[in-house]
Amino acid sequence: MTDTIQVDIVSAEGEIFSGPARMVFVPASQGEIGILPRHAPLLTMLKPGEVRVQPPEGGEQPFYVGGGALEVQPHRVTVLADTALRARDIDEAAAQAAKQRAEETLRSKSDKIDQAKALAELERAVALLKVVERLRKIRG
Amino acid sequence: MPGTKEIRAKIASIKKIQKITKAMQMVATSKMRRTQERMRAARPYAEKMRSVIGNLTEANPDYRHAFLEERAPKAVGLIVVSTDRGFAGGLNVNLFKQVLHTVRDWQQRGAEASLCLIGAKGVGFFRRLRLPIVAQQTHLGDRPHVNDLIGSVKVMLDAYHEGRIDRLLLLHNRFVSTMSQKPEVKQLLPVPASERSGLPEHWDYIYEPEASAILDGLLMRFIESQVYQAAVENVACEMVARMVAMKSATDNAGGLIEDLQLVYNKARQAAITKELAEIVSGAAAV
Between residues B200 and B9, the one the model is more confident about? B9
Between residues B195 and A55, the one the model is more confident about? A55
Are the CB atoms for A5 and A39 separated by under 8 Å?
yes
**CATH code for position A63:** 2.60.15.10
User: Is A19 in the same domain as A53?
Assistant: yes
What is the mean predicted confidence (pLDDT) over B170-185?
A: 91
Closest residue by Cα to residue B91 from B211, B18, B176: B176
Cβ–Cβ gap B213/A30 under 8 Å: no
Cβ–Cβ gap A12/B225 under 8 Å: yes
Whether ipTM > 0.85 holds is no
User: Is A79 in the same domain as A11?
Assistant: yes
Interface A–B counts its CB contacts (< 8 A) at 72
The whole-angstrom distance between A108's CA and the closest CA on chain B is 26
**Which residue segment(s) compose the domain that A111 sits in?**
90-139
Please report the sign of the dihedral spanned by the C-alpha atoms of residue B173, residue B175, residue B176, residue B181: positive
The whole-angstrom distance between B4's CA and the closest CA on chain A is 58
Cβ–Cβ gap A73/B55 under 8 Å: yes
User: Is A106 in the same domain as A61?
Assistant: no
Chain B residues closer than 8 Å to A28 by CB: 208
Instruction: Inform me whether the C-beta atom of residue A44 falls under 8 Å from chain B C-beta atoms.
Output: yes
The domain tally of chain A equals 2
Cβ–Cβ gap B221/A11 under 8 Å: no
Cβ–Cβ gap A45/B214 under 8 Å: yes
Instruction: Inform me whether the C-beta atom of residue A29 falls under 8 Å from chain B C-beta atoms.
Output: yes
Cβ–Cβ gap B44/A78 under 8 Å: no
User: Is A56 in the same domain as A70?
Assistant: yes
User: Is A50 in the same domain as A107?
Assistant: no
- pLDDT digit string (tens) for B67-115? 888 888 889 999 999 999 888 888 999 999 999 999 999 999 989 898 8
The whole-angstrom distance between B150's CA and the closest CA on chain A is 12
**CATH code for position A113:** 1.20.5.440
Q: What's the predicted TM-score (pTM) here? A: 0.80
CA-nearest residue of chain A to B203?
A41
Mutation to test the A interface, candidates B34, B45, B147, most A Cβ within 10 Å? B45
Instruction: Inform me whether the C-beta atom of residue B209 falls under 8 Å from chain A C-beta atoms.
Output: yes
Residue B12: exposed, middle, or buried by beta-carbon count in 10 A (0-12, 13-18, 19+)?
exposed
User: Is A134 in the same domain as A98?
Assistant: yes
Are the CB atoms for A73 and A8 separated by under 8 Å?
no
Residue A128: exposed, middle, or buried by beta-carbon count in 10 A (0-12, 13-18, 19+)?
buried
- pLDDT digit string (tens) for A95-129? 566 666 666 655 665 566 677 777 778 888 888 88
Mean pLDDT split into 10-residue runs, chain A, 140 residues: 84 87 91 92 88 90 87 91 55 60 62 72 81 74
B140-179 residues touching A, CB cutoff 8 A: 146
CA-nearest residue of chain A to B52?
A71
User: Is A33 in the same domain as A59?
Assistant: yes
Count of beta carbons in the 10 Å neighbourhood of residue A64? 27
| Eight-state DSSP code of residue A89 | G
